Each structure stands twice: as structure tokens, then as C-alpha cells.
Amino acid sequence: MKSADNRYTLVLDSPLGRLGILIRDRRIQRLDYLANTIPLKSAATPLERRVLKQLAQFFVNPEHHFTLPLDMQGTDFQCRVWQALTEIPAGQALTYGELAARLGSGARAVGNACRNNPVPVIVPCHRVVSAAGIGGYAGSTGGREIQRKQWLLRHEGFDGPALKIRQKTPYTGLQHSQQRNLHA
């Protein structure tokens, strides 16, 4: 959770709590979880209204596909991971190791890129889980952040406890050997 400051272009309530959106040069640079004491900021521009509308659509329909302009600043590897995250369908998940194998990297490096994702929810880092359970979220392995990850996964169709996550249907976008059986 970020501290209060005026850098956010848009501050809104969501099922996950208060969200702060930073837009620069007509591109989204950050989405942060904020304390509920941070004042709301209304959408004032067409892009801000579009962001608000697409987030609202996602919270109603978890299969909503975001089509928002992003300015995600990171290393080449982080950008590759973030792009791969957008290719995991709603209601599906990969382990850090599976995503790492797909990218020819290590699981810890993938986890680090997920932790540094500047726009969670829009770029769905919550769809990557640990081989032993839910893993981390937003730089945390417990508390409110993990509750948010659990909420997002359940919202998209997962219905098991955190350590026994299961999905509606297996993700078939990868070879069978790369898939993780998440059914309980």
C-alpha cells in the first residue's frame, strides 16, 4: 500500500479497496492499492473515464480484456514477463516455474518481475502462483495483499482454498508438460 500523495490522476473505490491510477502522457504508469482514507479523485478526461469504465467492467465480468494504453517501465526481462502475464486467460494460472520455463528463465526472476508489476489487475500478475500454494502478491506473502490475490483468483473462477487452488478448465495455451494440474 502506497502512502498518500497527490501524484494519482484518478483514485477510485473497488472490491479490492481504494485504487490509485497514475497517468502520464496519456498512458497508465501505475495502479497502486491505497488506504481507504485517501480522498477519491473523479475521472476528468476521456482516458480517465475509459480506465474507470474498463476496471468497472472487469469487476463485473472477470473475462473482460483490458485495452488501455500502458507505459510500463522496466528491464527488458520484466517487460517480457509482463507481456506473458497478459496472455494467461482469466480463470487460468501458471506457476512461477512454468512461466519461467516458457520464458527460458528462473522462477525467482519471474517472481521478482511479478512483484514489480506497476499495474496489477490490468496486467494480471495474480494469475501466477507458487507450486506449493498461492505465492506472493504486490511484494507480500500475507495479509491484505494475499487476500486481494485470493479475491482476484476466485473472481476469475477459482474456488479452492489458497493452497489448493483449482481452476474451471486447464489452460491449454502451453504444451501438456508445461501445464500444472490445479484441480483439487
* Vertex 52 angle, CA 51 and 53, to 5°: 90
Least confident of 81-85, 99-103, 158-162: 158-162
Residue 106 CA to residue 144 CA, distance in Å, equals 27
Residue 46 CA to residue 27 CA, distance in Å, equals 12
The residue among 175, 184, 176, 174 whose CA lies nearest residue 89 is 174
Q: What are phi and psi of 11, to 5 degrees?
A: -130, 125
Average pLDDT in the chain:
85
> What is the model's pLDDT at position 6?
78
pTM assigned to the model: 0.83
pLDDT score of 172 more than 80: no
Which positions are annotated as active-site residues? 125
pLDDT score of 169 more than 80: no
Could you give the domains of the chain? 10-60 (no CATH), 76-178 (1.10.10.10)
pLDDT score of 100 more than 70: yes
> What is the model's pLDDT at position 124?
97
Residue 9 CA to residue 69 CA, distance in Å, equals 15
> What is the model's pLDDT at position 65?
94
DSSP 36-84: TTSPPB---SHHHHHHHHHHHHHHH-TTPPP---B-----HHHHHHHHH
Share of the chain above pLDDT 70, in %: 83
pLDDT score of 118 more than 80: yes
> What is the model's pLDDT at position 5?
60
> What is the model's pLDDT at position 159?
62
- Please give the grid coordinates belonging to residue 112: 521478482
User: Higher model confidence: residue 42 or residue 175?
Assistant: 42
- Give me the mean pLDDT over the 41-51 stretch: 96
pLDDT score of 182 more than 90: no
The residue among 2, 68, 69 whose CA lies nearest residue 32 is 2
- Give me the mean pLDDT over the 67-86 stretch: 97
